[in-house]
Amino acid sequence: MRLVSFQGTSGPAIGVRDGDQIIDLSRAAPDLPTDMIGLLNAGDAGLAKAKAAAAGAGDDCKVKMSSVKLLPPIPRPGKIICIGRNYAAHAAEGGADTPTYPEVFYRGPTTLIAHGDPIIRPKCSDKLDYEAELVVVIGKTAKHVAEADAGAVIAGYSLFNEGTLRDYQRKSSQWTVGKNFDNTGPFGPEIVTADEVPEGARGLRIQSRLNGQIMQDANTDDLVFTIPNLIYRLTECMTLEPGDIIVSGTPAGVGYARTPPVFMKPGDIIEVEVEGIGILSNPIEDER
């Protein structure tokens, strides 16, 4: 099942994508929650009800994808947990050793934009870089989860482009500022439920393309810390809740590490693709 958040006629809504149509769950299953975190909090039973409602939905419950504005699948996650240097080749291209413990940092929700929205290059910097990443969406409250049990707390997967202002990232030893400019974090276009993805999202090709040119090209088998291992390590210290997301790291090929460096500029189109999950595409615009 492919879950989306979108701007409905009476406000934000959630639905199930079926080809070029969205089944509006507020019409197909009006007793379900009307936001993605609410649906995830409804657990497996809620997802099963959404799936059944989508399968039986009539034309009056369907809208064309092209006629609605997509939102980030979870517009305001409780936690946006990012993992740095989680592909060894990416660590190496930046002159760093492969980490022995996950490099964890946060992004804020005001960075998030949807599929198709412009990534905004701020007035104060022209060093806007791309980072293709696989997103893990948490579906159950989780603390002290063993690696072997991690799959049970995953609701699904999505895509992220972790737009980064490289000069601001390097202004201190903490990466927070460079990773938290407004409107630099495309997330979407949808959540693919875990039952439709290989266990732990292993063996999936991940790419970024800038104006059609492949910039990053790797496989999720190359993750230093696998998805189950990340959940195990994160839940040692924090409680993960439905709707939290883990942005699992980017492979080699980022712009700053190229010769000469490549940074995104107005008029560019950047795409992130993970095999079986979809394509996340965004134009670049300057801050006004």
Where is pLDDT greater, at 181 or 173? Answer: 181
What's the mean pLDDT in 169-174? 94
Res. 228 pLDDT band, cuts 50 70 90: very high
- The answer on pLDDT for 40 being more than 90 is yes
Nearest to 46 by CA among 28, 57, 32: 32
CB neighbours (10 Å) of residue 196?
Answer: 12
pTM for the full model?
A: 0.98
Q: Would you state the pLDDT for residue 199?
A: 98
- Given a contact cutoff of 8 angstroms between Cβ atoms, the answer to whether 171 and 233 are in contact is no
Q: Check: CB of residue 107 under 8 Å from CB of residue 244.
A: no
Per-residue pLDDT band at 97 (split at 50, 70, 90): very high
What pLDDT does 159 receive? 99
Segments in 31-165 forming alpha helices (H): 36-41, 43-55, 88-93
Q: What is the pLDDT of residue 281?
A: 99
Tens digit of each residue's pLDDT (9 = 90 or more) over 104-141: 999 999 999 999 999 999 999 999 999 999 999 999 99
**Mean pLDDT across the chain:** 98
pLDDT at 10: 86
Q: Which domains does the chain have, with CATH numbers?
A: 2-71 (2.30.30.230), 80-286 (3.90.850.10)
Render pLDDT for 234-275 as a digit per residue (tens, 0 to 9). 999 999 999 999 999 999 999 999 999 999 999 999 999 999
CA distance 99 to 223: 11
| Mean pLDDT in residue range 266-286 | 99
9 pLDDT higher than 90: no
Q: Supply the pLDDT for residue 123.
A: 99
Looking at residues 218-227, what average pLDDT do you find?
Answer: 98
What mean pLDDT is predicted for residues 17-22?
98
